[in-house]
A and B are shown apart, each in its own frame.
Chain A
Amino acid sequence: MLEQGNIHLPEGSIEKQTTTLNLGPTHPATHGVFQNILEMDGERIIKAESTVGYIHRAFEKIAERRPLYQITTLTDRLNYCSSPLNNMGWHLTCEKLLGVKTPKRVDYLRVIIMELSRISDHLICNSIVGVDTGAYTGFLYVMQYRELIYEVYEEVCGSRLTTNMGRIGGFERNFSDVAFQKIEKFLAEFPGVWKEFENLFNRNRIFIERTVGTGAISAERALNYGFTGPNLRATGVDYDVRVHSPYSSYEDFDFIIPVGTTGDNNDRFQVRNEEIWQSLSIIRQAYQKVQAFKGTEADVYHADAPAYYLPAKADVYTKMEALIYHFKIVMGETEIPAGEVYQSVEGGNGELGFYLISDGGRTPYRLHFRRPCFIYYQAYSEIVKDTMLSDAIVTLSSLNLIAGEMDA
């Protein structure tokens, strides 16, 4: 019998072996089509190689064949968790190129919609982080209240997810009373729900231990990788497009940019949480500002730019001028100045940029989307190196990667 104790083997008799694990592209824990080929030493990741492009739809090539309005439908499908943000980013780009000035009321209405969609984006991300750490309840609970946001969208534009909302210069119709009631309902009900959601997680030991200190990235590396949005702010850099290059009258609003310190999963979660509270406050401010418009001012919902703003359908059927403009805009026969524009908005995941080159033709000569997901996903292999596999999953979901936005 061998004595109880350590067994000493001659050196080199056991080869150090690593396993290759293929995670994705349809793995349930990846919430989208991402493929990662991981080289594992036990549970530890030695090397990760990311492959993307599994949902490449050639947006940029399509955009070269479509008049400006038809590109709005493409932007819906970039980051489909917050479509209106993309729509309005695109309309702002067009307005910049065409020199359309929007009235204040339109700006405030846009702010309401954009912040609502930011909430719906962060809500999905944070509840999915919960699912990946084993807390399904939070997800099922808040998904019910996302429907409230969708009801507002439906009232404003008729669609739930791929909204195709708004027009160049404003909205296609004024917000109805029902829409305002629904926004009020959301503002009344959601804070309590979100407080409860926070309480479920912030003092939950399992959640804290799964997220604190995992998936961290330093501010220098994050900047070097081109991080933007909540993921950059979680590292402690207070860069926010809404503040640095204000668009849509964001300078009229009072809000703070939440920042983290370590850039780990928990910081990202907390930054998104706090941004939801800030968004709620912005919506309240915007709502009050909108309510302050009285009389004829309260009927303003688009800019006075007949050459680019699609006329109302009733006018198209009854007025000659409206019919002509409708025809010209739909066929893309309007005068579009030649030039190059870069316009960015603070999307759900960071700086969503539109680089538009127009040569004066009916379609853009070139349209490039700066997709924040695509740019920061390349840091993933560096972040997950030397961490556990289970942490890598949480990191993937807390980065909030949206496949549609990433691959365009």
Chain B
Amino acid sequence: MSLTHETIKETLVAQFGDKILSWEESYGMACITVQADHNLKVLTFMNDDPTMGFQFLTDLTGVHYPDRKGEEISVVYHLHNLKENVRLRMKIYVPVEKPDVYTATGLFSGANWMERETYDFYGVNFVGHPDLRRILNVDEMDYFPLRKEFPLEDQTRIDKDDEMFGR
């Protein structure tokens, strides 16, 4: 294991400076927060740079924090350097009014559906995505169901007593 968390941090800070907003380690995985409009630059750098080599996109998902004003929607990337076997988590935050994020489909073909899913759940607008449509839900759906303000339960049920089920 030659690629340590310190190396990653130093390389990234040297390259991007204050665009790397925060750095933390939790449960053995390094996690960086990047300025939202720099996500693609950082991803490309980590993909191309020979010392970094994060060329495998493990996961891409969204999180909704309704209480954080101005950065309600978070997009989380899990990257993996398969050669050195190092994992890295990268986060960006965007406001819910204008959730524009650059797409990673140019780098990872696998990001295509993951971004569509994130759009479907949270309404993140991936700029430059080739085919940004709903993927899991019906096209007619007019809200983004995983945002915290929307209810889980099926609203068409009539056999449940609302008082008993707390809705």
Contacts and interface: CB of A to CB of B under 8 A. Distances in A.
A96 B113 CA distance: 29
Nearest to B138: A53
B135 interface: yes
Contact of B135 (A53, A221, A225): A53
Interface of B: 26-27, 29, 31, 55-59, 61, 63-64, 76, 78, 82, 85, 87, 89, 108-110, 112-114, 117, 121, 134-138, 145-146, 152
B154 to A, nearest CB: 10
A360 interface: no
B58 A351 contact: yes
A58 B144 CA distance: 12
B55 A366 contact: no
A96 B28 CA distance: 10
17 contacts: A58-B152, A60-B121, A223-B55, A224-B110, A225-B109, A226-B58, A339-B27, A340-B26, A342-B29, A355-B59, A366-B64, A368-B59, A368-B61, A374-B114, A376-B110, A378-B113, A379-B110
A389 to B, nearest CB: 23
B56 A226 contact: yes
Pick from B57, B59, B152 the residue with the most CB of A within 10 Å. B59
A355 B76 contact: yes
B58 A407 contact: no
B135 A97 contact: no
A370 B137 CA distance: 18
Contacts of B114: 374-375
Interface in A175-197: none
A378 B26 contact: no
Given A52-B136, A60-B146, A239 B82 contact: yes
A62 B61 contact: no
B146 A65 contact: no
A244 interface: yes
A408 B120 CA distance: 13
B61 A379 contact: no
Contact of A339 (B26, B64, B109, B134): B26
Nearest to B65: A365
A378 B112 contact: yes
Contacts of B85: 244-245
A353 interface: yes
Interface residues of A, number: 42
A357 interface: yes
B56 A341 contact: no
Contacts of B112: 378
A375 B152 contact: no
A406 B78 CA distance: 19
A353 B58 contact: yes
Contact of A378 (B55, B89, B110, B136): B110
Given A53-B135, A60-B146, A342 B89 contact: yes
Contacts of B56: 223, 226
A273 B137 CA distance: 36
Given A226-B58, A342-B59, 10 more contacts: A53-B137, A56-B136, A58-B145, A62-B152, A223-B55, A339-B26, A340-B89, A341-B27, A355-B76, A355-B78
Nearest to A357: B63
Contacts of B63: 357, 365-366
A375 B29 contact: no
B109 A340 contact: no
A61 interface: yes
Contacts of A244: 82, 85
A65 B166 CA distance: 12
Pick from A61, A370, A374 the residue with the most CB of B within 10 Å. A61
Nearest to B108: A224
Contacts of B61: 355, 368
A357 B89 CA distance: 13
Interface in A324-360: 339-342, 344, 351, 353, 355, 357
A351 B145 CA distance: 26
A368 B26 CA distance: 17
B126 to A, nearest CB: 15
Contact of A97 (B27, B109, B136, B138): B27
B80 to A, nearest CB: 9
Given A56-B137, A58-B152, A60-B121, A226 B27 contact: no
A244 B1 CA distance: 12
A407 B82 CA distance: 27
A408 B61 CA distance: 14
